[in-house]
Amino acid sequence: MPYKGALTTEDWVRHLKDQAAHTKEHRHALYEKVDIHNKMNILDVGCGTGVITADIASLAKGHVTGIDIDCRKLDRAKPLVSDRITLLEADASHLPFKDETFDLVVFSVVLMHIRDKQKAVNEMARVTRKDGIVLATMEPDHGGALYYPENKMYPFFIKDVEEMGSDPYIGRKLKYLFEKAGLKTEIGMSIHDFDSMNNSKEQLKEFLNRFWIAEKLFLINGWTQQQIHNYKQEQIHLIENDLYFSFLPVFYAIGRKE
């Protein structure tokens, strides 16, 4: 039986909504950089519940097509369908579009979950028009994560990600994958991660907003509710007293098709 991970479909719906809100400022800065307002035909790969798809459509003048391989998440996105938003069930490694269809192809925290990453990026490049752009707004690299004192949830998270068949180290591979697909590529990092290092209020907010994920991971790995409660209180104390350091490198890639 395939491993399904700690999170249910309902959990993913909640997580994707939280993630979209948390990353909005970073994504919008990149959208500005690629002039999303003037893109007339945009593809959102791995659109999930459509939260980011709708955000893109609110900024762009043209049409946005969202694709996802998970029909359950797409069902949640159906209310978004309009004359400017189309949703399709499709595999990123076998895009059902003609060559050079889109001005912009965009995705966020998607490539880490795709088995054949190079094929998927090749497909995105194929359906992008000449002078168009493939934009990865966020792909993390958990191999570069730094925590002190120790983040006790982290080993469980990495185990869960890998058992789902995802790649927690995708960030470092973006440039290679994009360039191999024939895209002239610019790589960078999310500045949000640097800003939050010195903002204990922001760190505490993020910790509390996402602790439900940690709780699920602890429970499936045998922790008791008392152990979880104690850990949570320890973390809150550390963060509130500016004694906790956390950093996760999150990369973006802008690939231009010449």
Can you give the pLDDT at residue 164? 85
Can you give the pLDDT at residue 190? 84
Can you give the pLDDT at residue 17? 72
Structure-block tokens of residue 181: 């697909």
The answer for residues whose C-beta is within 8 angstroms of residue 226's C-beta and 6 or more apart is: none
Do 10 and 169 form a contact (C-beta atoms < 8 A)? Answer: no
Average pLDDT of the residues in 15-42: 89
Dihedrals φ, ψ of 5, to 5°? 80, 175
Q: What percent of the chain has pLDDT over 70?
A: 91
Helices in 23-180 by DSSP H: which ranges?
A: 24-33, 51-59, 71-77, 117-126, 154-163, 174-180
Task: Name the CATH topology of 9-141+166-197+248-257.
Answer: Rossmann fold (3.40.50)
Provide the 3-class DSSP secondary structure of residue 50: coil
Q: Which residues pair with 86 in a beta bridge?
A: 65
In this prediction, residue 38 has a pLDDT band, given cuts at 50, 70 and 90, of very high
Gap between the Cα atoms of 37 and 81, Å rounded: 20
Can you give the pLDDT at residue 19? 75
Can you give the pLDDT at residue 4? 47
> 105 pLDDT exceeds 50?
yes
Predicted TM-score of the model (pTM): 0.90
**Which residue, 52, 111, 108, 125, is CA-closest to 85?**
52
